[in-house]
Structure 1
Amino acid sequence: MKTAISGFKLPFATLSILLICTAVYQANAQQIAVKGEMVYTATGEPIANGVVLISDGIIEEVGPESGVQIPSGYEILEAPVVTPGFIDAHSVVGLAGIYNVDDDQDQLELSGAIQPELRAIDGYNARDELVGVLRDRGITTVHTGHGPGAVISGQTMIVKTIGTTVDQALVDSTTALAMTIGAVVRNNFDNPGTRSKAIAMLRQELIRAQEYNDRSENGSRDLKMEALTQLLNGEIYALITAHTSRDILTALRLQREFGFKLLLDGAAEAYMVMDEIKEADVPVIIHPTMMRLGGDGENASFETAGKLADAGITVLFQSGYEAYVPKTRVVHFEAAIAVANGMAHDQAIRALTIDAARVLGLEDSIGSIEEGKQADLVLFTGDPFEYTTTVTRVLINGEVVSEGE
């Protein structure tokens, strides 16, 4: 059984887990009034001297202080700036751990180049210190899982940066299949050795999945084919990491051929093929703005996020995957660099919040400060994109989960 959330289908069991986990955290939630000299709702104009009322983990009212009455008994929290909780649109946090040793690096399985059956939920470590690093800096939701480097490296999922178990953190157990097109694949595997071979292998598996999908349900189960069938049926995304313009165009060509939903990831040379990306109406999870230049990503630019956004392409931010410690970036720092290099302030706020929620199918519950949504908020000492600004408090499901860095 599937339950639809604004056009994006989540498994019923996943939704049930989300509701149960939300209830657990709401049980400890307080009645809180958050006052901000500037409140960015992400869906409307910023509210000067705004107030957000929270009850049982849910936003019950938001508006200017002159129009919102704070009931007696509410705890009052104040900050110069308040935003929705930020969403990291692509990470490997929880699978790639802080220590950079074999025992905490589960983001890429090298025994095969195509492994869609690998589930992020089976490897996620909610206790990893990097989860806390992101939470303390205002990241409340993360799309994480198997990382780039294989033709298909495995499944991704969505979690909140709370809890000590994956069940407590879980929002969506299967969001996308992580794929890679580019030279990095042949660096990790003897086969495929070229781009053409990699795409041929991927295309063959998708054709097999089409045939598997057409068979009687009485046949034996195949976990690989089941995952690919979910993709072909539009239940999950293809998260394709592709940096060069030719690899981006290959990803778009595959989407047209098989009709799957595509999230374009990395896209260092996206500014060279903006017309094609816009025509395909594909969101871009832009590479970490400050990524190291080299290989397929040698032409990355600080200005790409702003150029794509100005062209009407949906842009999201990611921490991505780092091969060196500390193993993760922080998306609002990456967004700050994009703002300093041409991206509008409001575009960056939306990219970190409501735009990411919409793309991930979660806009009914998170991504903005609106009545009825889960109370994921971040309180800042100033503009989130200024270097000297710090986080004073983070709320998830109406509970203060972090106080200062």
Structure 2
Amino acid sequence: MNALVKTFAAAATAALLSTTALAQDIAVRGEQVWTMGPQGVITDGVVVIEDGRITAVGPASDVAIPQGMEVLTAPIVTPGLVDAHSTVGLTGYLNQSDDQDQLDDSAPVQPHLRAIDAYNPHDRLVQWARELGITTVHTGHGPGALISGQTMIVKTTGNTVEAALVEDGTMIVGNLGTWALNRNGGAPGTRARQMAMLRQALLAAQGGADPEEDHLGPGERDEDNPGRRNLEEEAFRSVLRGETPLLITAHRQQDIQTALRLADEFDIEVIIDGAADAHLMLDELREWGGMVILHPTMARNEGELENAAFTTAAVLAEAGIPFALQSGYEAYVPKTRVVLWEAGFAVANGLSPEDGLASITIDAARIIGADDRVGSLEVGKDGDVAMFDGDPFEYTSHVTGVVIEGEVVSTAAR
């Protein structure tokens, strides 16, 4: 084997190991460190990561870097970016039938479909997101069915889904509006039927749909049929117990109002997803007091998204409505977007840089319930870092390095 071949072989091996190796001890130093935590922006700051967790954050003058520790440097350092809602890993970049697992349209209500059973950690879109600074993704089944399945939280690294997994069964995905209507004579054919089917499913889960029917709790067994379990009802019971939120994609004002009515009727946690008409009902959303995962800023303004706007993120921030941005899902290739660019367009259209970065770091982490681990650079949190050679929201800037739990997973300038 000649020297050139050996060099390429070594590089390929290093690239593979970068997504699977154990955490290392490392320090990251930046001319500016945007912690997105109590320390705010630190000039000439340092983040020390040991055993995969952050052990020190502060000005370089105050933080002692252990002797011999590898030090990475960049003009701008931020927390690893968090995508609040995606289908990456289920939606493959080839756009072929064998890599499109984000939606099973064989039935309108399937809350028991688990994202962990369909996720491909080696899909090129996962690598694409990782190289652009996205270290944590809330991904799973997408819109297009009344209840399409479950979501999970993963890191954009790992040789297996188990290695990438942060949390399984994070939310159950629902969809109100025309995307989830069956126009071929099946159900649901109207918005009213959508809600009737959702109510029926929730009532069945709490044992109220048919008093004569035996509804088993999680782990319970029918004495006459010990193997019997109803996975659909078990999934909905977790919603009714307040353990699992319903993530409802609703763009039109009438569908958002319907989702809020459902939350009140069953006293369940609902997170509004998409919300193209959110700026038309600010008072209602403020009174509701919940959280919104806003549609991608650059989503195509057609159909249900005809009222989507570049400025909606800024409007929600000004109104004090908690929100995060997402890459989302589209039926057209490449099926998923990049939250860094979505936030950049939002910042260019009135959202402050601080709020823009929060929408894809700490605010996104809060909405998906992972802010105890990710979203900010604080002692005790995961050592997830993104490095930039300039303003993260400037088109000419690049992501120059990415660290996940102390492991350098990308050094490509993207």
Query: Does the pair score TM above 0.5?
Result: yes
Aligned to 1:246: 254
Q: CA deviation at 1:25?
A: 8.5
2:210 is the alignment partner of 1:202: no
- Matches for 1:76-87 after TM superposition, within 5 Å: 76-87=71-82
Choose which of 28, 32, 51 in structure 1 pairs with 2:22: 28
Q: CA deviation at 1:71?
A: 2.1
2:399 is the alignment partner of 1:391: yes
Q: CA deviation at 1:27?
A: 7.0
2:333 is the alignment partner of 1:337: no
Q: Aligned letter for 1:64?
A: P
Choose which of 272, 275, 286 in structure 1 pairs with 2:280: 272
2:99 is the alignment partner of 1:111: no
Aligned to 2:311: 303
Q: Secondary structure at the match of 1:359?
A: helix
Query: Is the 8 Å Cα contact of residues 25 and 397 (structure 1) preserved in structure 2?
Result: no
Q: Aligned letter for 2:191?
A: R
Q: Secondary structure at the match of 1:401?
A: strand
Rg comparison, structure with higher value:
2
Question: Which piece of structure 1 moves more, 187-196 or 40-49?
Answer: 187-196
Long gaps (5+) in structure 2: 1-17, 209-213, 223-227
Q: Structure 2 CA distance, aligned partners of 1:136 and 1:392?
A: 9
Question: Which piece of structure 1 moves more, 329-338 or 26-35?
Answer: 26-35
TM-superposition CA deviations, 1:197-251 (whole Å, max 9, x none) = 1111111111111117976744341000000001111111100000001110000
Q: Secondary structure at the match of 1:211?
A: coil
2:309 is the alignment partner of 1:313: no
Q: Structure 2 CA distance, aligned partners of 1:96 and 1:34?
A: 33
Query: Is the 8 Å Cα contact of residues 27 and 56 (structure 1) preserved in structure 2?
Result: no
2:95 is the alignment partner of 1:100: yes
Q: Structure 2 CA distance, aligned partners of 1:185 and 1:47?
A: 46
Aligned to 1:229: 237
Aligned to 2:149: 154
Q: CA deviation at 1:132?
A: 0.3
Query: Is the 8 Å Cα contact of residues 183 and 189 (structure 2) preserved in structure 1?
Result: no
Aligned to 1:19: none
Question: Which piece of structure 1 moves more, 369-378 or 189-198?
Answer: 189-198
Q: Structure 2 CA distance, aligned partners of 1:302 and 1:401?
A: 32
Q: Secondary structure at the match of 2:181?
A: helix
Q: Structure 2 CA distance, aligned partners of 1:175 and 1:197?
A: 27
Amino-acid identity (%): 54
Q: CA deviation at 1:65?
A: 1.3
Q: CA deviation at 1:57?
A: 1.2
Q: CA deviation at 1:188?
A: 6.6
Q: Structure 2 CA distance, aligned partners of 1:396 and 1:249?
A: 39
Are residues 188 and 403 of structure 1, via their aligned partners in 2, closer, same or farther at CA, if it must alter by over 3 Å? farther
Count of aligned positions: 382
Choose which of 156, 165, 168 in structure 2 pairs with 1:170: 165
Q: Give me the TM-score of the superposition, normalised by structure 1.
A: 0.91
Q: Structure 1 CA distance, aligned partners of 2:193 and 2:279?
A: 27
Long gaps (5+) in structure 1: 1-23
Query: Is the 8 Å Cα contact of residues 19 and 409 (structure 2) preserved in structure 1?
Result: no
TM-superposition CA deviations, 1:359-405 (whole Å, max 9, x none) = 22222211110111110000001111110111111000000001123
Query: Is the 8 Å Cα contact of residues 110 and 188 (structure 1) preserved in structure 2?
Result: no
Query: Is the 8 Å Cα contact of residues 159 and 172 (structure 1) preserved in structure 2?
Result: yes
Are residues 188 and 228 of structure 1, via their aligned partners in 2, closer, same or farther at CA, if it must alter by over 3 Å? farther
2:360 is the alignment partner of 1:352: yes
Q: Structure 1 CA distance, aligned partners of 2:134 and 2:19?
A: 17
Q: CA deviation at 1:333?
A: 0.5
Q: Aligned letter for 1:374?
A: D
CA-atom RMSD, angstroms?
Answer: 1.7
Query: Is the 8 Å Cα contact of residues 51 and 64 (structure 1) preserved in structure 2?
Result: yes
Q: Secondary structure at the match of 2:359?
A: helix
Q: Structure 1 CA distance, aligned partners of 2:33 and 2:348?
A: 21
Q: Aligned letter for 1:182?
A: G
Aligned to 2:187: 191
Query: Is the 8 Å Cα contact of residues 51 and 63 (structure 1) preserved in structure 2?
Result: yes
Choose which of 18, 41, 47 in structure 1 pairs with 2:35: 41
Q: Structure 1 CA distance, aligned partners of 2:33 and 2:182?
A: 47
Q: Aligned letter for 2:296?
A: P
Are residues 26 and 322 of structure 1, via their aligned partners in 2, closer, same or farther at CA, if it must alter by over 3 Å? closer
Choose which of 373, 385, 388 in structure 2 pairs with 1:365: 373
Q: Structure 2 CA distance, aligned partners of 1:122 and 1:55?
A: 32
Aligned to 1:91: 86
Q: Structure 2 CA distance, aligned partners of 1:378 and 1:192?
A: 44
Are residues 246 and 353 of structure 1, via their aligned partners in 2, closer, same or farther at CA, if it must alter by over 3 Å? same
Q: Structure 2 CA distance, aligned partners of 1:88 and 1:354?
A: 11
